[in-house]
A and B are shown apart, each in its own frame.
Chain A
Amino acid sequence: MTMVHNRHLEAGLTDDQVLAMYEQMLLARRIDERMWLLNRAGKIPFVISCQGQEAAQVGAAFAFDRDKDYMLPYYRDLGVVLTFGMTTKDIMLSGFAKAEDPNSGGRQMPGHFGQKKNRIVTGSSPVTTQVPHAVGIALAGKIEKKDIVTFVSFGEGSSNQGDFHEGANFAGVHKLPVIFLCENNKYAISVPIEKQLGCANVSDRAIGYGMPGYTVDGNDPIEVYRVTKEAVDRARRGEGPTLIETVSYRLTPHSSDDDDSSYRAKEEVTEAKGKDPLFTFRAYLMSTGILTEELDQSLNKKIAEEINEATDYAEKAPYAQPEDTLKFVYGE
């Protein structure tokens, strides 16, 4: 037990911090589950999930200075954006496509995050376009002599796109403070990793761009934090970018419009669910005495209330006016 206890302390995390990480992971999972219920009840048209990747997302996000660093998420990063300051209400407003949605005012599908006040940079649907943007933000920070690190994430399929390679190379040449986080969940919709990569690991690609690359257990938020924190510290010292690959498993279909039974075996999914980071991290926290059954229940209760409240609010909130379609093509 002492050995176990030391793991988060050794990584530089306090008891309060690991508990806060757990709470963020739980919140992300519960919001995601609610979105599926709302979708299946016909109340929202679309869901794209974070389930199975919460440890990688929250563990990495905790390594940044969330008062000044920039984040360029991809569509599964619910755990990241919540950690960077987006609220449950914000997420629900996006799910229901309401005018008050801070991501896009109901213009984009859910999962297309963006919120300037929290330095969460707006994104699109063609994958990996955010990678060069992250490099550009880091370059701008360097030009302006600001102490910021940029965090960009994407899936393993995305690591095949030219924009990944072009962006990573630019960051390598200019030694820019960018953390490239590849959340490898083993599937790009239906296509498994063996058909995606010509190399064993996504992190093998780092050497081509003059940066260190690491492959980490994506189900272990403490290890993800530790590796990311070291990378962030290097970046702040001017030592350049790092590529981190977190390996986990996508526990849901690709989206609410996908049926994953056509391309992966039920046994495989069941086995992955046995390694669900929410359960394994919960067990770790229990074993260290940081979390108790009682505390876990009260956290779940608090989160359920928060989600209920946000769901009610978002459902009742007004849509944008039809004519709002015409706004903000150009600056006014």
Chain B
Amino acid sequence: MPVISYIDAVTQAIREEMEKDDKVFILGEDVGVKGGVFKATTGLYEQFGAERVIDAPLAESAIAGVGIGAAMYGLKPIAEMQFADFIMPAVNQIVSEAAKVRYRSNNDWTCPIVIRAPYGGGIHGALYHSQSVEAMFANTPGLKIVMPSTPYDVKGLLKAAIQDPDPVLFFEHKRAYRLIKGFVPDEDYVLPIGKADIKREGEDITVITYGLCVHFALQAAEKLAEDGISAHVLDLRTVYPLDKEAIMEAASKTGKVLLITEDNKEGSVISEVAAIIAENCLFDLDAPIMRLAGEDVPAMPYAPTMEKFFLITPEKVETEMRKLAEF
């Protein structure tokens, strides 16, 4: 099983689905000749041609909206937003249209589109190249939001998203693109959307998170293990709709829960996770639910001092995990 990077898993998943199904095509800014600003679609233009890898005009609402039209027709578009921060002009198309096509037509029309976008900070991207935007979409029934942490999950979940009969927002952590490498099978496989994944079994504390923070939690768990503290790590993988069963099981297992997101804290995805635990697992808890999240400022600043202050780091994660263990 070869070791590849997170971004190579993105490319591989798309290439395999395009080879398999003529209905799959890509549209977005710079996705064709250039292969994407992060190179996520590199080589696909050469392999599949300009008609299936479309360099769209710079207009996000059209990238989403044209994709939605093609999806309603019966194709399987993969629309790329260059940065998650730039998805805002397309929100009406995503929330009022894609999410509601099946429901409003009483199951007559469907909208099997995937909208991919790189999110997350730590790359000196300042306010508008660093944001996590999932919470804005995470109370929109009709949408599914996938945020994988490993190359293995990227490939299996992106293929599942492309095959899914409903709209899927697929957010890729841009710092993970080249930082995170892992084993990815060459063969065709899909992973279930809507299912969380236990990334580490443990007995003393539970960490529930997603994206790059999964790796921070796993690194910290190794260190804690040296001190005899056993951490259980649940990777949400799909942040909407949430895998409620897996969340309740993971929380009840240790009775001590730390929830982590690099999004702003108030109204974040982990706030909903906290509500699920509070509603269902109160009597299994041995400590108050803890949350580690970005400060409630508009977005992370450019200067390295302020960026680091805002960011979730491995050190912050370890500190919070130790605090919880000691409670």
Contacts and interface: CB of A to CB of B under 8 A. Distances in A.
Interface string A152-179: 0000000000110011011001000000
A140 B61 CA distance: 17
B70 A139 contact: yes
B65 A116 contact: no
Contact of A136 (B51, B57, B73, B89): B73
B166 A132 contact: no
Contact of B105 (A122, A136, A139): A122
Interface stretch (A61-69, A107-115, A181-189, A219-227): A107-115
Contact of A133 (B52, B97, B103, B166): B97
Contacts of A327: 107
Interface stretch (A4-12, A97-105, A192-200, A257-265): A97-105
Contacts of A104: 104-106
A121 B74 CA distance: 12
A140 B104 contact: no
A295 interface: no
What is the interface residue range for chain A against chain B?
35 or more
A124 B100 contact: yes
A327 B70 CA distance: 24
B32 to A, nearest CB: 13
B100 to A, nearest CB: 7
B104 A124 contact: yes
A91 interface: no
A3 interface: no
B50 to A, nearest CB: 10
Contacts of A163: 61-62, 65, 92-93
Interface residues of B, number: 43
B128 interface: no
The listed residue with most B CB atoms (<10 A of its CB), out of A101, A133, A169, is: A133
A140 B69 CA distance: 8
A212 interface: no
B108 interface: yes
A131 B65 contact: yes
A329 B72 contact: no
Contacts of A138: 69
Interface string A114-144: 1110000110111001011111111111111
Contact of B61 (A107, A139, A144, A166): A166
Interface string B97-119: 10011111111111000000000
A331 interface: yes
Contact of B93 (A114, A125, A132, A142): A132
B102 A169 contact: no
Interface in B128-160: 141-142, 144
B56 A126 contact: no
B198 interface: no
A95 to B, nearest CB: 16
B109 A133 contact: no
Contacts of B83: none
A227 B50 CA distance: 33
Nearest to B25: A143
Contacts of A144: 75
Interface in B26-79: 51-52, 54, 56-57, 59, 61-62, 64-75, 77
16 contacts: A105-B106, A114-B104, A114-B109, A129-B92, A132-B61, A132-B93, A136-B70, A136-B71, A143-B52, A162-B61, A163-B93, A166-B57, A167-B65, A167-B66, A331-B110, A331-B165
Interface of A: 70, 101-105, 107-108, 112, 114-116, 121-122, 124-126, 129, 131-144, 162-163, 166-167, 169-170, 173, 327-331
